[in-house]
Structure 1
Amino acid sequence: MFKSKKCIYKQDLALLLLFSLLACIFVLLPPLNETPLRIIFALPLLFFIPGYAFIAALFPRNDSISGIERFTLSVGFSIAIVVFDGFAVSMTEWLFRPNSISISLSLITLILVEIAYFARRRHPEEEQFSFSFKDFVESIKKDDDKTVLMSKEERDRQKMIEKALVIALVLSIVIATAMFAYAKVTREKETFTALYILGPDGKAENYPTVASPTQPLTVTVGIENHELEKINYILQMRHDGTVIQELQIPLEDGETWLEDMTYPGTQLKQDQSKLEFVIFKEEVANFPYRSVHLWITHDLSGIDLPFSTVLPLPSHINSTSFMVQWEGTHPNNEPIYFNIEYSTNGVNWIQWISSTERTLDMFTGEEGRTYYFRSKAIDDSGIEEFVENVPDAQTTIDLTNPEISLSLSKSGTQLNIRATSSEELEDMTAYVTALYFSADPVEVEMSSSDGITWSGTYTITNADKTHLIEVVGKDFALNSGEASENF
């Protein structure tokens, strides 16, 4: 149980926490971690603060050790703590990095400061350690005199403490050195691949940002293999996700590939577009191993663009196979070719037909799906038309017949016909047939405000006779449903 005494002097412990916090801030947060203050705050965290907190916890009394001993041991044990902590952190997923070592040392300091705070409270107030720079200097000058005035038991006790501390410090340094040597010998060499692009001066600056068919864009692409083995790289140049060029590049460990790559500028866009260089290892995967990119614009002055569009389709179709047609023109009457794409959500597009001169084809889809279509015209020079991320036409495959329910009511000689459909209908018609004599059905016009609920009226001339009421409805895919009832 701790005695209920106060810790009178704790300013030094508060300063330790403050310096640890500032060290983390100036090591972790940009742009502060790019200033010289990073070194000023990081050095005490590495070579003094954790050791001082450890000694403060170990010797909470004023008369335990002298000021110069406290300072020397603080430096020595800080080095030992840093080595032990660095070895432990290097075994984790965070590895030995400035961020991880700064945070871990700050946490160790926080724990030791709490121990030191409670350790000081265990002693009378006049015996608790308190730091004074003046007393620290005088302790250096008078240390020998103080030793002379001590009794034999006090001198023996002082020597035992000093001997134990020296042994502990030497053992810590020996163990830390051994751990450092072990980590150095067993640490696996870091492997990586460098992918970069250079401007016209061979530097990572002044990149070209404008392209056109008459002004292709050229950059230098570099790949460096530091994977400790031979790697077969696959390099792709992409424009807004479309692969423009693909190269196979095998590189030995330590080998560098550096070549110019040219984007022809024929995939024209009105807004900014992304010119990207990506690499894969051994085979193309869903996600590249490394990537770099430029944002570019296109110079459209003096360029005649082809135009194309997919012709409108019915909103609904009652067949899984249907005809899709498209057309296009060129301002100079040059030949054009068509790339036809489709989508099931209007956002992600899939190539259906590429570089064709045809203007129609049969498309096969799945029941219940909505399909979106768009076209892109390309002339003989490879110049493509602008294509926005919107469809030219769309349709939904619907093979299901609507279900219709019928409700009848009478008001005088007027028969009220009300029909409800399971889906929106394009048209509905009612037929009334008198069953008491041979007669043709009478067509009754039905109307609706939402395509779901339909209503119509019919005047009955013989109210006491039986009539057959039938309703027939068609949805937008021309699927029909019907219902009937005698009245």
Structure 2
Amino acid sequence: MTELRSLLALLPRPVRTLPADLAVVLIFVALTNVAVLAPVISETSLRIPLGLVFVLFIPGYAFIAALFPEEGDSPTDTDSDTDTDSDSDSEAAPDSTWGSETDWGSSSSSTADDNTDETGLLQHGLGRSGIDGIERVALSFGLSIAITPLLGLILNFTPWGIRLVPIMITVSLFTVLATVIAAVRRWNLPADQRFRVPYKSWYATGRSELLEPDSRGDALLNILLIASILLAAGSVTFAVMVPPDGEQFSAVYILSEDDDGEYVADNYPTEFTQGESEELVVGVDNNEHRTVDYSVVLVEQQVSQDGNETVVDEQRELERFETQLAHNETWHHSHDVEPTMTGEDIRLVWLLYPDDIPEDVSMETTDYHVHLWVDVEE
């Protein structure tokens, strides 16, 4: 303990005298940035609970701390003070012995008491200094929900845009700046007027309620309460840390390049000359919730119509492509397409195979494929 105090004495005075709740805010900002931006830790589920608290509570709490550095009076204390003042006034009122004057006096005093009560309510209700703990927590949630989108809107008009790193930096800088202002404003107040989080009283009250119950019934209720809290916290943590996988699927599609160099799902080449090629882009999306080795097989087919059924008369393989994608990753591959068959209504098919390729590559052996009808002249 002595060594710890010696180490704390080496810190600068502003750090040593920083209020505990504001120190927790700064520590939480640092932990959230590490959980979200650090290379290895950002891949874990730790970023989810920290990020939620960071976005929904921390900025608003720092802002409220900067606006209201003083200790607040709760409305219940105000009501009790008003009742006490009213009682003392009624006890101090002198008795009157004159009949008619008593009636007039009582009427006048009643009117004066009403005015006094209304003035007292205004002074205690509307003019009370600061805010209490419940109001501070509620406003912290509300202002955080308002501040974070507003900062994102401002970022939208900057070159950085609404992306993860700019948002984290902006919200962190805002929170740190508000925390510094809150600390300075508290230091400028007398010690007995500064806002403090009553950790010690909370601990003493909780310890007496849990460890020193008045009866066995209270002890049993305490045990049930603790078990309920642990169960609820565990359920929420599990739901956040292990979200459901949802639908699992892959996707394959073809794109072309427009005049601006952007990939679009339009303006595909449909007229080919044998021996000449056209550039196309094949795209693959992985939504399998795992890393997948993909193979894309490009084939050309001559087909005929048998009633309502399309029959493949001849098929030739043109190219194969391979890639590995993590979950929620996309791959675009530009390649030259050169059909070898000639005639009208030649079907070019891109077949997508997750994991393994069967010996018979066709539209019947995979769930993922995309095709393009072209005419090829000799």
TM-score, normalised via structure 1 length: 0.31
Which one has the bigger strand percentage? 1
Which one has the bigger helix percentage? 2
Kindly name which structure, 1 or 2, has the bigger radius of gyration based on alpha carbons: 1
TM-score, normalised via structure 2 length: 0.39
